[in-house]
């Protein structure tokens, strides 16, 4: 997918909300900004924030940065990618985006836009970025063919914390991985069952329920995924 079809160089929106995988979206945005003749390194009017959870401190920092006068005569750009946004940080973002600042543009990247407040979403130009990576679908295909015991082991591995550098965890938090997995699982089940006479909505209801609770801080991601593993059929 090419973001250029949504981005008008002569008439940029002040705030874009892009749903999809950050590792694919960020390079596209950087490429677009470079086309405008604006540097993305060594430029005080460009800022990129990449975190697992976007909290109030990050939001206040962003508000401060966005309100300051630019160091150059060019536009200011902010790229923020996060797996989730705390409720209080969303309150600060609402204030930022309800009064657009001239020549200042924000790109917010999330794996699932529905985890944000509806009032906040309404402030953005929303783009759903279709992923080029089919690995999630392939993993979901394997999962539905597994026995229940193997599914439980798979979930344990899926949610295991990485021993790699902290940057790995920032790029792909546990809740984000779980949500992407559920999205892929839902797509596979829909394709497999939609034409069958024994199509059961209960499978999807459990996925919807698990996805909703996973978005809530403090919920047990492991228990929620295991509840899905228990009800979906084995193919």
pLDDT at position 162 is 43
pLDDT at position 33 is 92
Q: How far apart are CA 210 and CA 203, in angstroms?
A: 11
Range with top average pLDDT, 20-29, 35-44, 144-153: 144-153
Query: What's the structural domain count of the chain?
Result: 2
pLDDT at position 166 is 37
In this structure, the answer to whether residues 87 and 64 fall within a common structural domain is yes
Mean pLDDT for 187-193 is: 79
The sign of the dihedral angle between the CA atoms of 167, 225, 91, 27 is: positive
In this structure, the answer to whether residues 176 and 225 fall within a common structural domain is yes
In this structure, the answer to whether residues 95 and 200 fall within a common structural domain is no
In this structure, the answer to whether residues 120 and 162 fall within a common structural domain is no
In the chain, % of residues over pLDDT 70: 87
Kindly report which listed range (46-50, 135-139, 164-168) carries the lowest average pLDDT score. Answer: 164-168
Q: How far apart are CA 156 and CA 137, in angstroms?
A: 18
pLDDT exceeds 80 at position 152: yes
Q: Which residues contact 2 (CB under 8 A, 6 or more apart)?
A: 28
Confidence of residue 23 (pLDDT cuts 50, 70, 90): confident
pLDDT exceeds 70 at position 227: yes
pLDDT exceeds 70 at position 25: yes
In this structure, the answer to whether residues 169 and 105 fall within a common structural domain is no
How many Cβ atoms from other residues are within 10 Å of residue 5's Cβ? 8
pLDDT at position 184 is 85
Domain housing 171: 135-231
Mean pLDDT for 202-231 is: 88
In this structure, the answer to whether residues 34 and 97 fall within a common structural domain is yes
Among the candidates 98, 128, 158, a domain finishes at: 128
pTM (two decimals): 0.69
Q: How far apart are CA 107 and CA 66, in angstroms?
A: 13
**What CATH number does the domain containing 50 carry?**
3.40.50.300
In this structure, the answer to whether residues 148 and 173 fall within a common structural domain is yes
pLDDT exceeds 90 at position 59: yes
Among the candidates 128, 162, 186, a domain finishes at: 128
In this structure, the answer to whether residues 158 and 194 fall within a common structural domain is yes
Question: CB–CB of 115/5 below 8 Å?
Answer: no
Among the candidates 112, 128, 144, a domain finishes at: 128
pLDDT at position 132 is 58
pLDDT exceeds 80 at position 125: yes
Mean pLDDT for 165-188 is: 68
In this structure, the answer to whether residues 103 and 140 fall within a common structural domain is no
Kind and range of the H or E run holding 204: helix 201-214
């Amino acid at each position: 997918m090419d973001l250029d079809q949504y981005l008008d160089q002569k008439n940029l929106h002040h705030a874009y909300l892009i749903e999809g995988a950050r590792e694919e979206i960020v390079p596209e945005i950087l490429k677009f900004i470079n086309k405008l003749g604006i540097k993305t390194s060594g430029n005080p009017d460009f800022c990129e924030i990449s975190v697992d959870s976007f909290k109030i401190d990050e939001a206040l920092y962003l508000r401060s940065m966005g309100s300051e006068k630019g160091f150059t005569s060019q536009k200011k750009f902010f790229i923020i990618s996060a797996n989730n946004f705390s409720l209080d940080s969303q309150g600060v973002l609402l204030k930022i985006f309800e009064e657009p600042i001239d020549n200042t543009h924000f790109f917010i990247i999330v794996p699932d836009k529905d985890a944000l407040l509806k009032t906040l979403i309404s402030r953005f130009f929303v783009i759903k970025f279709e992923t080029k990576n089919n690995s999630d679908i392939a993993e979901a295909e394997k999962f539905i063919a597994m026995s229940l015991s193997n599914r439980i082991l798979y979930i344990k591995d899926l949610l295991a914390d990485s021993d790699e550098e902290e940057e790995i965890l920032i790029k792909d938090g546990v809740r984000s991985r779980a949500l992407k997995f559920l999205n892929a699982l839902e797509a596979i089940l829909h394709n497999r069952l939609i034409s069958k006479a024994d199509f059961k909505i209960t499978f999807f209801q459990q996925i919807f329920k698990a996805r909703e609770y996973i978005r809530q801080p403090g919920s047990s991601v492991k228990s929620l995924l295991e509840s899905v593993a228990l009800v979906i059929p084995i193919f």
